[in-house]
Amino acid sequence: MHLESIRLANFKNYPEANLEFSQEINCFLGKNGSGKTNLLDAIFYLSFTKSAGPSLDGQCIRHEEQFFSIKGAFRQEEKQKMVLCGLQTGKKKLVKLDDKPYKKASEHVGKFPVVMIAPNDTDVIRGSSEDRRKFFDAIIAQVDQIYLQNLIQYNHTLKQRNSLLKQFAERDFFDRDLLDAFTDKLIDLGQQIFQVRQKFLESFRVLVNDHYQNLSEASEAVDLQYESQFAGDIRSAFQESERKDLILKRTNVGIHKDEFPFLMEDKPIKKFGSQGQQKSYLIALKLANFDYLYQEKEVKPLLLLDDIFDKLDDFRITKLVEMVASETFGQIFVTDARPERTLGIFEKMDQEVKMFAIESGQVEQMG
Residues making up the annotated binding site for ATP are 30-37
- Strand pairing report for 353-359 and 362-366: antiparallel
The Cα 151–Cα 141 span in angstroms is 9
Residues making up the annotated binding site are 30-37
Q: Are 302 and 198 in contact (CB under 8 A)?
A: no
E strands, the chain, are 2-11, 14-20, 25-29, 67-76, 79-88, 94-97, 100-101, 114-117, 222-224, 262-264, 267-268, 302-306, 332-336, 353-359, 362-366
The Cα 327–Cα 321 span in angstroms is 10
User: Side-chain half-sphere of 96: how many Cα atoms within 13 Å?
Assistant: 14
Concatenated DSSP letters for 254-317? SGGG-B--EEETTEEHHHHS-HHHHHHHHHHHHHHHHHHHHHHHSSPPEEEEESGGGTS-HHHH
Residue 92: exposed, middle, or buried by beta-carbon count in 10 A (0-12, 13-18, 19+)?
exposed
The Cα 75–Cα 62 span in angstroms is 28
